[in-house]
Amino acid sequence: MILPEYSRSLQPKEWTLLIEPLLEAQHVVITTHENSDGDGLGCEVALALLLTALGKQVDIVNPTEVPPNYQFLKGYHPISLFNPKDEDAIQNLSLCDVLVLLDANLKERMGALWPHVSFSKELGRLKILCVDHHLEPEDFADVMVCERYASSTGELVYDLVYALQEHIGREIFTPEIAEALYVAVMTDTGSFRFPKTTPYVYRLAGDLVSKGADPAGLYDKIYNSLTPAALKLLGAALSSITILDNGLVSWLFISQDMIKSTGSRLFDTDLIIRYLLSVPTVKIAILIVEMTDGRTKASFRSRGKIYVNQLAKKYGGGGHMNAAGCLFAFSSEKARKVLLEDVRTFLREQGD
């Protein structure tokens, strides 16, 4: 068994707080944040497989749909989209014993699920467990395991699997669990190269490969999966990137016109932000996306010790030091104006 070695604050016995309510539960609902990613989805599937093997009724219910390149995970365990108008879906959600939120630590990140979860919680029926690695967790869960040292929530769920194995005294890893966790860790470490990719993370990845995860196959499924429309959107987006403030800020606005004229979809914008940091002078990258409902999505990336989560927090969002985001309840025109002004002040403050 691999034991903690690098900057880890959790010991197997500390997982007991999380393991006990999971083992007591009959019916568990697992969810993740809106606009789910590989970390959230991989963790959901791994935990669902684990709990199903232990005889629990397990449903994965998400506030938004699974992006096309992660659809294959549904072959390991079903993932449903929560429909707040479907009485059966609401019933199912409100009758579970335990709700597990993965890869998010703010209740609003559950989107349309939260009002129903909150209602059951008030009635005293429901336990909320949360496993995450973002900064600044909110106090709403019965058990919150939020560790910012972790490269991914997948790294934490990996440790949870080992702790659970120790608790029940038998091996529960399967190749499918290994694949799901590999997806989580690979995607959240930018394929094992982001700053939190410690030697421990490489050993963890090696362990998952030895347990049946296929690195080449999973990489291909997730990253070589562009539709022609997404490729056209990428082209249009790249040609409209602006570099501001003597090369310190890269800035990109994607309008609904751009999305519609290329026939692409909102989640196709996710792969674009990585290009904004590819100019070495750039300290902050900002991607602004106009949404169909009049709101505006903003994503931030930074290089070095620039806490873009603080910028995101200003608008009710959050994230990590080098990757964060938020949603503006107003038009992209206003959002752009607000951001352009604030980012300059922010950069000056961060530079101090």
Q: Are the CB atoms for 173 and 62 separated by under 8 Å? A: no
Annotate each residue in 60-99 with x if it binds Mn ion (CB under 5 A) or - if it does not, as one string.
----------------------------------------
Q: Which stretch binds Mn ion (CB under 5 A): 17-25, 36-44, 74-82, 283-291?
A: 36-44
CB of 33 to Mn ion, least distance (A): 9
Task: For residue 218, give the nearest of 62, 65, 345, 76 by alpha carbon.
Answer: 76
Tell me the helix, strand and coil percentages in the chain, rounded to 5.
45, 15, 35
Query: Which residue, 96 or 177, has its beta carbon nearer to Mn ion?
Result: 177
Q: In what order do the strands lie in the sheet with 57-62?
A: 79-81, 57-62, 27-32, 98-102, 127-132, 143-146
Among 1-9, 22-30, 152-160, 172-180, the segment contacting Mn ion (CB under 5 A): 152-160
Strand pairing class (323-328; 296-302): antiparallel
Interface segment toward Mn ion; rule CB under 5 A; list 37-45, 54-62, 163-171, 317-325: 37-45
What phi, psi does 104 have (nearest 5°)?
A: -155, 150
- Distance in Å, CB of 247 to Mn ion, minimum: 29
β-pair type (127-132, 98-102) = parallel
Residue 96 burial by Cβ neighbours in a 10 Å radius (0-12, 13-18, 19+): buried
Per CB under 5 A, the list member of 39, 155, 207, 290 interacting with Mn ion is 39
Indicate the residue whose CB is closest to Mn ion: 39
Residues 6+ apart with CB under 8 A from 251: 241, 242, 243, 244, 276, 285, 286, 288, 340
Least gap, CB of 310 to Mn ion (angstroms): 18
CB 345, min distance to Mn ion, A: 28
159 binds Mn ion (CB under 5 A): no
By CB under 5 A, is residue 44 in contact with Mn ion? Answer: no
The distance of closest approach from Cβ of residue 94 to Mn ion in the complex, given in angstroms and rounded to an integer, is 27
Per DSSP, helices labelled H in the chain are 16-24, 38-53, 87-94, 114-122, 153-168, 175-188, 199-210, 215-223, 228-238, 256-262, 273-276, 308-313, 332-351
In this structure, are residues 93 and 27 in contact, taking their beta carbons and an 8 Å threshold? no
The reply on whether position 188 binds Mn ion by CB under 5 A is: yes
Q: How far apart are CA 27 and CA 232, in angstroms?
A: 44
The answer to whether 161 and 12 have CB atoms below 8 angstroms apart is: no
* Of residues 152 and 296, the one with the C-beta less far from Mn ion: 152
Q: Which is nearer to Mn ion, 97 or 147 (CB)?
A: 147
| 3-state secondary structure at position 6 | coil
Binding residue for Mn ion, selected from 97, 103, 147, 179, defined by CB under 5 A: 103
CB of 79 to Mn ion, least distance (A): 17
Q: Which is nearer to Mn ion, 36 or 152 (CB)?
A: 152
* Closest approach of Mn ion to the CB of residue 47, in Å: 14
| Between 116 and 301, CB nearer to Mn ion | 301
Size of the site for Mn ion (CB under 5 A): 5
Task: Specify the stretch interacting with Mn ion by CB under 5 A; choose among 38-46, 201-209, 271-279, 337-345.
Answer: 38-46
Chain contacts with Mn ion (rule: CB under 5 A):
39, 103, 152-153, 188
